[in-house]
Amino acid sequence: MRKLYGVMGDPIRHSMSPDIHNDAFRRMDINADYHLFHVLPDQLENAVKGVRALNISGFNVTVPHKTKIMPFLDEIDELAGAIGAVNTVVNREGRLVGYNTDGPGFVRGIKERLGTPLANKKTLIIGAGGAARGIYFSLVKEGITQIDICNRTLQNAKSLIEQCPYETASQAFGFEEAAEMISQYDLIVQTTSAGMSPNVSEVPFEISDRLQASALVSDIIYNPLETGFLRQAKEKGAMTHNGIDMFVYQAALAFEIWTGVTPDSTKMRQIVVNKLG
């Protein structure tokens, strides 16, 4: 029987997930379809009941449901539990199991970009919100212990470090201090919404000439493809990496959880790039 997948969110109209998953299903000859489900916040519990009633095989979860969905599931993967957010659910013979592939998707993308082991990279994460949390815990789980967090609100960076379920030696900084210490870092990951369309002129802080030319600067924003922060990093000679990979690999990992097979991530990226114009 044809399997049914989808994504629940509000708003959901602009999601690119159906494009990439349906293309991968067709390409790999998998008898399945992926749909958009516009689920309002007060309908989330009913929507999950609907998944069970209709025996939907799996789904993605996006804003604003990633945390609120957790109590309605039967099991939560360890990393997703630590992060406190689920973006992928698989229906295993009636048991709904929640995963988080956002942080692990970022890690896979950055590993491919770097082509060298991550473990000894001294890393700075900018931001301490939900996206930073997923990336931070996933990087620590991957074995990177030298990760500092800087944030506009210092206390939020401190709390994030305290909440990390794995052993770390992380320190928290404000933006000014982080900007001064920028030369220490091999990998810098920008996770705040500063610079996201329509506020394209915003940067969390100005990147000085002290940035190592061998550093990799990543911004999880993909609209625009090159944020002001990435542009500054490029001007200083550093490598840059935009948010497309995180989106592509969170989808590829979800696809693997559902089907057990790895989709062509290059093709997925192409679809996203074309769609973004």
Give the count of residues interacting with ligand ATR (CB under 6 A). Answer: 16
Q: Is 214 assigned a ligand-binding role in the annotation?
A: no
Q: Is 148 assigned a ligand-binding role in the annotation?
A: no
| CB nearer to ligand ATR: pick between 33 and 202 | 202
Per-residue interface string for the shown chain with ligand ATR, residues 153-182, x marking contact by CB under 6 A: x--x--------------------------
From 33-41, 75-83, 122-130, 164-172, give the range in contact with ligand ATR by CB under 6 A: 122-130
Phi, psi (degrees; rounded to nearest 5) at 151: -155, 155
| CB nearer to ligand ATR: pick between 22 and 193 | 193
Cα within 13 Å of Cα(133), Cβ side? 20
SS3 content of the chain, % helix, strand, coil (to 5): 40, 20, 40
Q: Is 127 assigned a ligand-binding role in the annotation?
A: yes
Q: Whole-number minimum distance, CB 189 to ligand ATR, in Å?
A: 12
Q: Look up tokens 């992060």; give the residue.
A: 83
Distance CA 172, CA 152 (A): 11
Q: Whole-number minimum distance, CB 56 to ligand ATR, in Å?
A: 26
In the set 66, 121, 122, 267, the catalytic residue is 66
| CB nearer to ligand ATR: pick between 126 and 248 | 126
Q: Is 105 assigned a ligand-binding role in the annotation?
A: no
Distance CA 48, CA 53 (A): 9
Cβ atoms of residues 62 and 87 within 8 Å = yes
23 in contact with ligand ATR (CB under 6 A): no
Cβ atoms of residues 35 and 51 within 8 Å = no
Q: Is 155 assigned a ligand-binding role in the annotation?
A: no
**Looking at 192, 240, 250, 265, which residue binds ligand ATR (CB under 6 A)?**
192
129 in contact with ligand ATR (CB under 6 A): yes
Cβ atoms of residues 30 and 256 within 8 Å = no
127 in contact with ligand ATR (CB under 6 A): yes
Q: Is 192 assigned a ligand-binding role in the annotation?
A: no
Residues ≥6 apart with Cβ < 8 Å to 132: 125, 126, 149, 151, 160, 191, 192
| CB nearer to ligand ATR: pick between 72 and 136 | 136
**Looking at 64, 81, 84, 130, which residue binds ligand ATR (CB under 6 A)?**
130
The three-state secondary structure class of 70 is helix
Give the closest residue to 250 by CA, choosing from 60, 1, 11, 116. Answer: 60
From 27-35, 44-52, 130-138, 250-258, give the range in contact with ligand ATR by CB under 6 A: 130-138
Helices and strands, counts by H and E, the chain: 10, 12
Q: Clarify whether 66 is annotated catalytic.
A: yes
Cβ atoms of residues 250 and 83 within 8 Å = no
Amino acid at 169: A
List the binding residues for shikimate. 15-17, 62, 87, 102, 222, 250
Positions in the binding site for ligand ATR (CB under 6 A) = 127-132, 151-153, 156, 191-194, 202, 204
